[in-house]
Amino acid sequence: MSELIEMQNISLKAAEMVEEGRVHKALYSDPAIFEEELDKVFNNTWVYVGHESEVPDAGCYKTAWVGRQPVILSRDRKMNLHVLQNRCRHRGATVCEGRKGKTKSFTCPYHGWGYGLDGALRALPKPEEYEGVLDKNELPLERLRVETYQGLVFATYREDLESLYDFLGGARKWIDLFMKQGGGYPVKVLGEHRFNFPGNWKIQLENTTDAYHFPIIHKSFITSLDDATADIFDFLHGDGFVEDLGNGHSVMVMIPELVDLEDNLDQPIPPRFQKLADELRAEGRSEEEVQKLVRAAHGTGFNLNLFPNVSCSMAFLRVLRPVSVGETEIQHVALGGAGAPAPFNRKRMRLHEHFQGPMGFGTPDDGEAWERVHKGSQAGQDGWILVNRGMNNLHQSPDGNVAGAVCSETGMRGAYRQYKKVMAAGEDK
């Protein structure tokens, strides 16, 4: 009996490892906590699975993940979106292995069960042996609940969860601003970079709301910029801020003058966009459109972190997937304008390649830091990770939220508060 009590006492309760201003390092390395996270976080909240522009037409699909579970985002003939478990109802094989494409149906390669784009089980070979045994209507690919906001597609297993609209809450205003970077055209996915790092997913979650690291670890990127652009990225002493938007979401405004890309359209063309402006003028674009596209090409001046797995990060989407307690996969999704002038989308892709992805001038240094966090945090029997920066200097934002300095860890605290809430759910009081 005493043994049992002792075991309970030392068992790691993740929710108790989050305090305001610090989190226990076991959250990065304990396999049992990781398993609990897959259930309590990823199976119990809205998880980002893709952007509508990735499945533009009827019959389009892309494969994605909800935590560790493979899913398919598809668009049926009536243009409805579906998120389906990628698991044949017969013996469990995946029914779709492509990353994206177009199809009329999903057919299991093992025994040929065929499913529609909405997941309905349409046909199976030699059905006579199932007469009176199974009803096809009862065996569709299992569907997740799907809702979208501004083209961002989220899915959840929970029918009783609040709407996506409510879950995003204070983040919606910032998503609206983020989506102005199509330059007057609908935002469209142009491609993606994929890489992984040997470390826990929350190290990445923290990073997109961490301005403090930028001038330090990304010095080599800043050196590669022209002086005017380097000045823009010298934002730690500026008027930026981090605002806790609730539900684990936060926004980190690094460059306040680039919050609304439809404002200030009368600025001179910066040197690094001169070639783009010339190309647009050569295409016969009006000066007004040139200004609008050039300003949109910058991307926004903020990172919007959406708990738990996506960040609208300046000019692109950063999507994380927890693979194991010590491995995380990341996609850097490049964005442009659907139908926008080719020089605009080209410039957006070149800027993305410059910083993002496994060969960019920024990401490899982030990756090095995250790997070291994961490795170094294993040292010692006990220890805490500090997320208390800027707790001495908080204020209330115009929207009534808690906000701190641009290089404060306000966003991390917001994410961990939500984490604590969902990890505590269902635990004995």
Partner 1 sequence: MSTQTQILNDVTAFIWHESDLLDHKGYQDWLQLWNEDGLYIVPAEFNADGNYEDTLNLALDDADMRSMRVARLENGESVSANSTGNTIRMVSRVRVLEAGDDLVIARCAMTLNEMRHGKLVTYPADVEYRLQPTGDGYRLAGKVVRLMHADSFLRTVSFIF
Can you give the binding site for partner 1, defined by CB under 8 A? Answer: 99, 190-198, 217, 219-221, 223-224, 329, 334, 342, 345-346, 349-350, 352-354, 357-359, 361, 363-369, 371, 375
Q: Parallel, antiparallel, or unpaired: how do β-strands 106-107 and 100-102 relate?
A: unpaired
For partner 1, give the closer residue by CB, 225 or 236: 225
d(CA 322, CA 200): 7
For partner 1, give the closer residue by CB, 86 or 418: 86
Query: Which tokens in the block code for residue 258?
Result: 């680039």
In terms of Cβ atoms closer than 10 Å to its own Cβ (0-12, 13-18, 19+), residue 76 is middle
| Strands (E) located in 166-256 | 187-197, 241-246, 249-253
- Shortest Cβ 197–partner 1 spacing (Å): 7
For partner 1, give the closer residue by CB, 74 or 345: 345
| DSSP reduced 3-state for 121 | strand
Residues in the chain: 429
Contact 38, 322 (CB under 8 A): yes
For partner 1, give the closer residue by CB, 49 or 330: 330
- Shortest Cβ 1–partner 1 spacing (Å): 45
Tracing tokens 């005017």 back to the chain, one arrives at: 228
In terms of Cβ atoms closer than 10 Å to its own Cβ (0-12, 13-18, 19+), residue 295 is buried
Contact 115, 80 (CB under 8 A): no
For partner 1, give the closer residue by CB, 59 or 215: 215
What is the number of other CB atoms lying within 10 angstroms of the CB of residue 97?
10
Opening angle at CA 145, ends 142 and 150, nearest 5: 135
For partner 1, give the closer residue by CB, 375 or 395: 375
- Shortest Cβ 279–partner 1 spacing (Å): 12
For partner 1, give the closer residue by CB, 127 or 376: 376
| DSSP reduced 3-state for 54 | helix
d(CA 144, CA 83): 5
